[in-house]
Chain A
Amino acid sequence: MPLMRGIGVSSGVVLGPAIVLETEETRVPRRTIQRAQIPHEMGLLAKAFESARIAIGQERVEFSHRAGTELADIFGFHERWLADPKPLKEIEQLIDEKLYSAAYAVSVFMRRYRRRFQEMASPFLQERAKDVVDIERRLLHELSGESRDELQGEGDPVIIVAHDLTPSQIVALDKSKRLLGFVTDVGGPTSHTAIIAAGLGIPAIVGLGNITANASSGDTLILDGTHGVVVINPDTTQKKEYAERAVHLQEVRANLAELREMFAETKDGYIVQLLGNIEFPDEVPGCIAQGATGIGLFRTEFLFMQDSGPPSEEQQYEAYKTAAEALADRPLVIRTMDVGGDKLMPGGTWEPEKNPFLGLRSIRYSLQHLSIFRPQLRAIVRASVHGDVRIMFPLISRIMELRQAKFVLNLVKEELEEEGFDFKSDIPVGVMIETPAAAICARELAHECNFMSIGTNDLIQYTLAVDRANERVAQLYTAADPSVLRLIRAVVRVGQRQKVPVSVCGEMAGDPMFTIWLVGMGLQTLSMAASNIPRAKKIIRSITMTDARRVARRVLSFETEREVLNFLRDETRKVWGDI
Chain B
Amino acid sequence: MSSPSTRVEREVTVPNKQGLHARPVLRFVDLASKFDSSIRVCKRDTAVDGKSPMEMMLLEATQGTVLKIVAEGADCEKAVTELSRLVSDGFGEE
CB contact under 8 A between A80 and B19, given known A86-B49, A122-B60, A122-B62: no
CB B44 to nearest CB in A, in angstroms, measures 13
Chain A contacts with B in 389-438, Cβ cutoff 8 A: none
A84 near B60: Cβ-Cβ < 8 Å: no
CB A309 to nearest CB in B, in angstroms, measures 32
CB contact under 8 A between A74 and B22, given known A84-B52, A84-B53, A87-B54: yes
Residues of A within 8 Å of B19, CB to CB, are 122, 124
As a 0/1 sequence over residues 97 to 137 of chain A, the CB contacts with chain B under 8 angstroms (1 = contact) are 00000000000000001001100111011011001100000
Distance, CA A22 to CA B54, complexed state (A) = 24
CB contact under 8 A between A77 and B26, given known A122-B60, A124-B19: yes
Q: For chain A, give the interface size range.
A: 20 to 34
Chain B contacts with A in 11-38, Cβ cutoff 8 A: 18-19, 21-23, 25-26, 29-30
CB A201 to nearest CB in B, in angstroms, measures 48
Distance, CA A131 to CA B58, complexed state (A) = 12
A116 near B22: Cβ-Cβ < 8 Å: no
Q: Which of B21, B52, B60, B62 contacts A86 (CB 8 A)?
A: B52
Chain A contacts with B in 55-108, Cβ cutoff 8 A: 73-74, 76-77, 80-81, 84-87
CB A532 to nearest CB in B, in angstroms, measures 54
A127 near B57: Cβ-Cβ < 8 Å: no
CB B52 to nearest CB in A, in angstroms, measures 5
Distance, CA A122 to CA B16, complexed state (A) = 14
Q: Say if the beta carbon of B55 comes within 8 Å of chain A.
A: yes
Distance, CA A43 to CA B16, complexed state (A) = 41
B29 near A124: Cβ-Cβ < 8 Å: no
CB B26 to nearest CB in A, in angstroms, measures 4
CB A409 to nearest CB in B, in angstroms, measures 56
B26 near A80: Cβ-Cβ < 8 Å: yes
A81 near B62: Cβ-Cβ < 8 Å: no
CB A21 to nearest CB in B, in angstroms, measures 28
CB A86 to nearest CB in B, in angstroms, measures 5
Distance, CA A296 to CA B26, complexed state (A) = 60
Q: What residue in chain A is nearest B62 (Cβ atoms)? A: A122
CB B63 to nearest CB in A, in angstroms, measures 9
B22 near A124: Cβ-Cβ < 8 Å: no
A116 near B58: Cβ-Cβ < 8 Å: yes
Distance, CA A76 to CA B29, complexed state (A) = 11
As a 0/1 sequence over residues 34 to 76 of chain B, the CB contacts with chain A under 8 angstroms (1 = contact) are 0000000000000001001111011010100000000000000
CB contact under 8 A between A77 and B22, given known A121-B60, A124-B62: yes
Distance, CA A122 to CA B60, complexed state (A) = 8
A128 near B22: Cβ-Cβ < 8 Å: yes
Distance, CA A120 to CA B65, complexed state (A) = 14
B23 near A73: Cβ-Cβ < 8 Å: yes
Distance, CA A413 to CA B53, complexed state (A) = 65
Q: What residue in chain B is nearest A120 (Cβ atoms)? A: B60
As a 0/1 sequence over residues 76 to 87 of chain B, the CB contacts with chain A under 8 angstroms (1 = contact) are 000000000000
Distance, CA A113 to CA B25, complexed state (A) = 16
A132 near B30: Cβ-Cβ < 8 Å: no
B57 near A132: Cβ-Cβ < 8 Å: yes
Residues of B within 8 Å of A86, CB to CB, are 49, 52, 54-55
Distance, CA A113 to CA B53, complexed state (A) = 13
B53 near A80: Cβ-Cβ < 8 Å: yes
Residues of B within 8 Å of A84, CB to CB, are 52-54
Residues of B within 8 Å of A80, CB to CB, are 26, 29-30, 53
B60 near A77: Cβ-Cβ < 8 Å: no
Distance, CA A124 to CA B20, complexed state (A) = 9
Q: What residue in chain B is nearest A69 (Cβ atoms)? A: B23
Distance, CA A77 to CA B25, complexed state (A) = 8
B26 near A73: Cβ-Cβ < 8 Å: yes
Distance, CA A74 to CA B27, complexed state (A) = 11
Residues of B within 8 Å of A87, CB to CB, are 54
Residues of A within 8 Å of B23, CB to CB, are 73-74, 77
CB B64 to nearest CB in A, in angstroms, measures 11
Distance, CA A361 to CA B18, complexed state (A) = 48
Residues of A within 8 Å of B22, CB to CB, are 73-74, 77, 127-128, 131
Chain A contacts with B in 120-160, Cβ cutoff 8 A: 120-122, 124-125, 127-128, 131-132
Residues of B within 8 Å of A122, CB to CB, are 19, 60, 62
Residues of A within 8 Å of B55, CB to CB, are 86
Q: What residue in chain A is nearest B57 (Cβ atoms)? A: A128
Residues of B within 8 Å of A128, CB to CB, are 21-22, 57
Q: What residue in chain A is nearest B22 (Cβ atoms)? A: A77
Residues of B within 8 Å of A77, CB to CB, are 22-23, 25-26, 53
Residues of B within 8 Å of A125, CB to CB, are 60
Q: What residue in chain A is nearest B18 (Cβ atoms)? A: A124
Q: What residue in chain A is nearest B51 (Cβ atoms)? A: A84
CB contact under 8 A between A127 and B52, given known A80-B26, A121-B60, A122-B62: no
Given contacts A77-B23, A84-B54, 7 further A-B contacts (CB under 8 A): A74-B22, A86-B52, A121-B60, A127-B21, A127-B22, A128-B21, A131-B57
A-B contact pairs, 13 of them (CB 8 A): A73-B23, A77-B23, A77-B26, A77-B53, A84-B53, A84-B54, A85-B52, A113-B58, A116-B58, A117-B57, A124-B62, A125-B60, A127-B21
Q: Give me the interface of B with A, judged by CB distance under 8 Å.
A: 18-19, 21-23, 25-26, 29-30, 49, 52-55, 57-58, 60, 62
Q: Which 4 A-B pairs have the closest CB atoms?
A: A77-B22, A77-B26, A81-B53, A120-B60
